[in-house]
Chain A
Amino acid sequence: MFQQFTQCIQRTYSSKPIAQDASGSRGDGGFTLMETIIAVGIFTVGVVSVISLINSVISSLGVSQERVIAANLAQEGIEIVRAVRDTNWIVDLSYNDGLADTTYCVEYSDLKAGMQVGPGGACLLYQDGNGIFSHASDGGPATPFSRLITITSDVDSSANPFLRIESEVTWNSNTFTVEDHLYDWK
């Protein structure tokens, strides 16, 4: 046993005996082409998967930043509709005046004027030189974001009527929706 081991050591570390008596044996020939291709193939698969993982993480982080913008824009849509309802109360109109069941483009600077759009309307948002988001196309370049408000009148389980407000912000095939229910309760 021990003899075999020392022989093995000798074979490994002294080049002369191997060169002389083991020429042509498999241990001498290096790697075959097949072995090399398989080894390189495995290595490549590993590297490619790591790189694609890094890429997908980076792009999903970009989306998460866009979601922060979208969430705030969607909330803005809800708040503007809420301001319309509250103003209706102040001026003694019905709480849902001007808030019929359809789709709307709402603007931080508008009250009711020109809000309604037909079904399937695109409410693309533009950004002016000060970074303000609005639907005014003359303000500046278009952003990837669109915001469409859908109002549906509904009745809850206690037969109280309410307006279901859905504020949907879409961008590059992503969507962020906020839903709120507005009642005629002051």
Chain B
Amino acid sequence: MTGSNRFEKGFTLIELVVALGVFSIVMMIAFGAFLGALRAQRVTFAEHSVSQETRFALEFMSRQLRVASQDGGGGGSMVCLDASNSTPRVFDVGAGEIQFLNGREECVRFFFDDGTGTIRYENPAGGTAYDLTSPTGVTVESLQFTIRGNTNADDEQPRVMINLTARGLGGEEEEAARLTTQTTVTVRTLDLP
């Protein structure tokens, strides 16, 4: 009775090896696809937060730069900008930073903090510096400002070019999510001599 019946024989070694082989190949392909999707998802999340943070930072800075006003005009003394230079002007620009009087006549300084990889802003006269980008969301790699028509005497409307590079924070995949954006802002108040 036993042995002769096909249903009690079990598998032969060959059958077992072939079945295991096919199964493992299928599993390897499925696992590869799954790991690939996981990696793509991490990159996607990083790219998302990088664009989000970049958009916010550029929008926040543009809005204030657009309504910047001249400092030291009409023979008055400097309220916000470097007083050692008495030329009436709108902006003081350094490496990764810009300082100006905003639309509410408040002195503002936007600057790139290399240590934390963030853009921050403060009133240079004192007070707290605030983060403009999240230190746990993205790492800002560079922030550049280029200005034209800064002084009153140059017969040109002031404008600022902002260039910002940020990347994702975390592993290798996140760091690959790098975004460089650039925009220019023309000051709305007419810089008449």
Contact = CB atoms under 8 A, between A and B. Distances in A.
B184 A86 contact: no
B191 A76 contact: no
Interface stretch (B99-107, B123-131, B155-163): B155-163
A132 B190 CA distance: 27
- In this complex, the member of A111, A127, A131 whose beta carbon has the largest number of chain B beta carbons within 10 angstroms is A131
Interface in B138-186: 142, 144, 146, 148-149, 155-157, 159, 161, 163, 165, 179-186
Interface stretch (B5-13, B76-84, B114-122): B5-13
A19 interface: yes
Contacts of B183: 72-73, 75-76, 79
A109 B149 CA distance: 10
Given A79-B159, A79-B184, A80-B186, A68 B191 contact: no
B148 A109 contact: yes
Nearest to B185: A79
A115 interface: no
Contacts of B155: 87, 90-91
Interface residues of A, number: 34
A12 B33 CA distance: 38
A122 interface: no
Given A15-B8, A130-B142, A132-B163, A61 B44 contact: yes
Contact of A186 (B50, B156, B190): B190
Contacts of A61: 44, 47-48
B128 to A, nearest CB: 29
B47 A62 contact: yes
Contacts of B63: none
Interface string A72-84: 1101100110110
A80 B159 contact: yes
A79 B180 CA distance: 19
Interface size class of B (residues with CB under 8 A): 35 or more
Given A90-B157, A111-B148, A133 B182 contact: yes
A171 interface: no
A90 B146 contact: no
A131 B180 contact: yes
Interface stretch (B15-23, B51-59, B86-94): B51-59
Nearest to A90: B155
Contact of B179 (A65, A73, A76, A91): A65
B192 interface: yes
11 contacts: A19-B7, A58-B40, A58-B44, A65-B51, A72-B181, A72-B183, A73-B183, A79-B159, A82-B186, A89-B192, A132-B163
Q: What 8 pairs between A and B have smallest CB-CB spacing?
A: A86-B157, A72-B183, A108-B161, A76-B184, A83-B186, A131-B180, A79-B186, A79-B184
